[in-house]
Amino acid sequence: MPPSSGSRYATTPNPMDNSLTNLLPFGRRRALSRNFMLRIVVVVVVLVTTLTVIAGVLLIPTYVLLQTNAQAKEARLASMDATLSSSDETSLAARLSALSSNAAKLTALSTTPSASVILQQVLSLPRPGITISNFSYTPAAKGSLTTVVLSGSSTTRDALRNYQLTLQGASFIKSATVPVSAYANDADITFAITVILTP
């Protein structure tokens, strides 16, 4: 019988020496091969099952952590719901209503022409002999137009009349009215012109 070497065992899948099995009948050799393959399959199945069980065991801490996080978030959500449904809900609703009202006012202001722009337009008109000392601005509201009241003094009646006509002739002014009593004096006339702007 030839001596067995380590390389021969490493290269052959069957650990049994061929010289020991080739004397057996064919059916017995086949049964030995099947037995050998069955053992390999059993070992592979046991290894896969073991690895699956180990992986499942290693997933337990992850599951516990996720479960704890979910419970903590549910508790936080419940406390937030309780806080919102408490007595602070009425004050929160009042604050929200006030903020909505302020937002509506700011939106309306964004479309309202600036008072400084309107005043610059009015003061850009020629006014010889007229001194403007005061003005008041009333923005347009529901059912009313933007109104500017100009107060000041005029050196003569004609200067005041010419300034009134200049205001009425401006494209952005709808009307400019002066009280009749302002024309009572001939010179050094104090006046208040009510200017209504075009929409």
Mean pLDDT of 169-185: 82
Digit-coded pLDDT (tens) for 71-107 = 999 999 888 777 766 656 677 777 888 888 888 777 7
**Distance from the Cα of residue 83 to its chain's centroid:** 24
Q: At what angle do helices 26-84 and 88-111 cross, to 10 degrees?
A: 80
pLDDT number for residue 12: 47
- Residues 153 and 131: beta-carbon distance below 8 Å: yes
Mean pLDDT of 6-17: 49
Q: Which helix (H) or strand (E) holds 78?
A: helix 26-84
Digit-coded pLDDT (tens) for 129-157 = 888 888 888 877 777 788 888 888 888 88
Domain 113-197 in CATH 3.30.1360? The answer is yes
The count of other CB atoms within 10 Å of the CB of residue 45 is: 10
User: What is the share, in percent, of the chain residues with pLDDT greater than 70?
Assistant: 81
Digit-coded pLDDT (tens) for 35-63 = 999 999 999 999 999 999 999 999 998 88
Task: Assign 3-state DSSP to the chain and report helix, strand, coil percentages, each to 5.
Answer: 60, 20, 20
pTM: 0.45
